[in-house]
Each structure stands twice: as structure tokens, then as C-alpha cells.
Chains A and B, each alone.
Chain A
Amino acid sequence: MSEYRKPLPTITDENRPFWEGCREGKLRLQKCGECGHIRYPISHVCPDCLSYEFTWTPLSGRGEVFSYVVFHQLYNKAFADDIPYNVALVQLEEGPRMYSNIVGVDNDAVKVGDKLEVVFDPVTPEVTIPKFRLRQA
């Protein structure tokens, strides 16, 4: 098995529940304990109300393509075999947006507004990366 060379997350106490969730096949983000805002990126404090109280809340894993680009230029050698590869800004059903890749489809077949659902890609024993595939509306 070849070594995984692409960037990996630096797991910290703050983000560990997110990455552990992905290993278990669950997408979850922080929900503010005071104002209820579901936030991303991961943070120790709510950017809306500054509360430190939060819980990790499970998400549906559904969303849609908010914006979509395809990398033809190689910026990092670890992605050499993937060029051209796509990155989508995904609008999650519960409100937050996150970057990810759309898998299982030609790059040219994806459009802004396409419906998505999360899939999980276990790239190392420790890290499973959430990605998305097209979902029938």
C-alpha cells in the first residue's frame, strides 16, 4: 500500500470530535449552547454570540454545490495523479458551508446547485475525510 502524501489534518483537542465522527461515518459540527448557531470552521467560541458552550450535533450529510472549481494547475506534488481534480464549496442543509471534493462523477458533470450527500474516504488508519457524491433530488 502506497503512503498517503496529501495534507492531513492536525488533530487537536478542539477538532478531534469532528475527525472521530468521520471515522465512525458521521458528519457532525458544533452547535452553540446559547444561540443555537451551527458553526464552521471549528472553533472554541461561537462567532455569533461568543459563548463557549456547545455540543457536537449530527448533520444530515445532505447539501448542494454552492460553488465549484477544477484544479488543472498543480500546486502540491501529492495531487499530481489527481489533476485535474475538483473542489466544491458545499452548502450543508443545516446552514454551514465547507470545502470538499465531489467523487464518482466526471469533473464536467457537476453544476452549482446540484444536490449532494456525504461519503467517507478512509485515507489513513487515523483519518477519514468527508467527501460528497451527487444525490438524486
Chain B
Amino acid sequence: MHPLRDKTAIVGVGASPQGKLPGSTALSLAVEAFKRALDDSGLKKSQIDGLLTFPGTTAPEEGYNYLRVGEALGIDPRYTGSMKMGGGSCGALLHQAALAVNAGMANYVACVFGDAAATGGVRFDRASGWGDSLGIWGFMSACANSAITASRHMALYGTTSRQLGEIAVACRKHASMNPNAVMRKPITIEDHQASRWIVKPLRLLDCCLISDGGVCYIVTTAERAKDLKQPLVLVSGMGQAYTTRNMEREDWWYVPHQKLAIEDAYRMAGVGPKDIDVCQLYDNFTSSVLLWFEHGGFCKVGESGSFVEGGRIQLGGELPINTAGGNLSESYMEGWLHLVEGVRQMRGACGERQVEDAEVCLVTGRGAALNTSNVTILRKG
């Protein structure tokens, strides 16, 4: 048995208001999220001795973000740092926190993220990739990378835009049941099909939101967590993998590292796809969700398009995903709210969104230009 299986716990989660929040800054949203997570955990601020942060897209101090957040929170940590992996940051920081608490380098690690992307965000007019080379041909935006994936998946396997729409519809349905979600009005496949092209074959309703907000979660050992306020939620499995060679690797478009990350997480947790009760799958674009099903062994390579049809991935279906609405409809917190929702599902605290008898939750993250990925398996304690 893997020595880290079920040895780590998430004992507090919190999120600031989400949406378009003029007057907020990355820092003010991060602080508000921390206060809510701390309150959720029942810990005192003086007990937090680890601080890990993701600078997001609008924190001016970038890699020194941990110093600015620490200063604002009045925390002088024993263990700290910032990491920038786009949508892979949340899981990567969780795993780093898990290693730290189990190594005794910190007792309670707060992982914090704030971003003001909606009101103060960067413009997406830069070339997508290093240097200047890709903008020469007009290849720009995060959407373009996922459109490359979608286009080839469609060409090789016959995947359709309507099948991508199934994912958008499921996420919006779940957001409609979440009072904290930004986009709550239910949509249909026809609404998806009528939405305009962004980078064809991806439409507006294939794309995540751009949001202001902050999220925080607090990590400790499973042993310490037993004495704390909330129902026990364990980190059962963790996996990470990366591809740096976008052009040199023929299979880069298929985000092959995600399969390695998910298999590592399965191995650590001692589970497989049949054991997963609910998923929080990183959905920067609908096409990203398809690949998680294939990489996670829920269906065969190329068959994810038909897999998502017929309500299978909606609440009440066989494998509900993104039960709070995901990046597509809840808020674009780069996957941090996916972890929060996963924890709440394992606590049994999701009200009408609760997946009945859910005991194992798969949470995934991915980021940059199809480069970073990580997978966490949560278990009800």
C-alpha cells in the first residue's frame, strides 16, 4: 500500500464572492477566501504555519506572491512558496502541501488563490506559446490550443459539436442548483449550437468564464484532522505529469500526460474508474472534459463523445461531473472550486446537488498550453 494513501486531509475550504467584482483585487479576494476557509476549519490563524499560493493572472508580485499574501494575512510561515501552472496550480499546491505536512515541515498549510481576471485581466492578444513565433500566423488565446485538440479528435473519431454541448448543458444544469454560481440559467443543446464560434470548432458555450474571485483550502495530516470541526475528507491518491514539448511531441494535442497523472493517482489510492462516484473534471473548454474520460479509463480512446450523451454525466446519471457548475458555469477559478466542491461532496454537504452515498471523488486539473496536469482522489473519512 502506498505510504501516503489517506494520510492527508483537507480540513477547511472557503471561497470569496465570484463574478465581476469592481474594486476587488487579487489580494483582497485571496484574503477573503482565506478568512472563510479558516472559519470553516475551526483553526486559529496562529496555527497556520504553511502558506502556498498561486499568483493567478493579475497578482503584480508574480512569483513573490506568497510574501504579499503572507504579509496581508500576518503569517510568517515555516513552509511557503508560489507556483504557476495555470489550471494545474490548485492540485500541484495540494500535493506539495500533502508532502510538507507528512514530512513534518508544517502542520497546517493554507493554499490560497485570488484573481481579478474579469475586471483587471490580461488581454488574450499574445501569441499562444513562448516567444513570438505563433502570433505570426494569428495563433492566439488559450481557446486555440483546445480547439486544436477538438478539431483532431473530431477528425479521428467523429466526435461532434453537439456532444461537446452535452458537457456545457450538464455544467449549467448543476450551476443552476448552486446559489454561488455566476451563470445559473439552464441551457439546451440547441442554445449551445446557436452560440457563436470563438475558435472553430469551439463555440462560446464551449468556453469557460472569466471571473474575479478567491479560493482557499487548508491541509493537514489525517491524524490531526480527526480532532477538527469538519467531517473527515482524505486525500487518497495524487498524481502529476507534464508535457513541455508542444511541437516536438506528435501526441501533445491529446494531452498524454493526463493519463499518467490519473493512473498514478489510481495506484496511490488503490482504486480504478469503477470506484469513482463523482468527478470534478477541469473544464477550461468542453473538449478538455472528453479527454479526462478517455485518460481515466471510463471509456475507450475516441469514444468519449458518445460516452457523455444521454445524461450520463448529469446529477442523477451514472457519473455526475462538475456538480457545482465547473469553470464553464460556476466561476473560472482555474479549478480551485473543483476541489472545494469535491471536499463538500465528500462531507455530504452539497444539499440538492449531493451525489447520494458518494465516497470517492476524482478531481483533475490541467493548465498552460496543454502542458500541466494533476489528479487528486478524495475519499470520505
Contact = CB atoms under 8 A, between A and B. Distances in A.
A and B: partners? yes
Interface of A: 6-10, 39-41, 47, 66-73, 75-77, 79, 82, 84-85, 87, 89, 96-101, 111-113, 129, 131
The 5 closest A-B pairs by CB, nearest first: A112-B155, A7-B135, A72-B197, A70-B200, A67-B152
B148 A84 contact: no
Nearest to A113: B155
A100 B140 contact: no
B136 A8 contact: yes
Interface of B: 123-125, 127, 130-141, 143-144, 147-149, 151-152, 155-156, 196-201, 245, 247-248, 250, 253
B137 A112 contact: no
Given A41-B133, A113-B155, A69 B124 contact: no
A87 B137 CA distance: 7
Given A75-B125, A97-B250, A69 B144 contact: yes
Contacts of B155: 67, 111-113
A98 to B, nearest CB: 7
Contacts of A6: 135-136, 138
B247 A101 contact: no
Nearest to B147: A69
A131 B139 CA distance: 13
A37 to B, nearest CB: 9
Nearest to A97: B247
B124 to A, nearest CB: 5
A40 B246 CA distance: 10
B76 to A, nearest CB: 42
B132 A89 contact: no
A76 B247 contact: no
A9 B132 CA distance: 6
Given A47-B245, A68-B151, A72-B196, 8 more contacts: A6-B135, A7-B132, A9-B132, A41-B131, A41-B133, A75-B140, A87-B138, A100-B137
B132 A73 contact: no
Nearest to B201: A69
A129 B152 contact: no
B375 to A, nearest CB: 25
Contact of A99 (B134, B143, B147, B250): B134
Contacts of A89: 148, 253
A41 B247 contact: yes
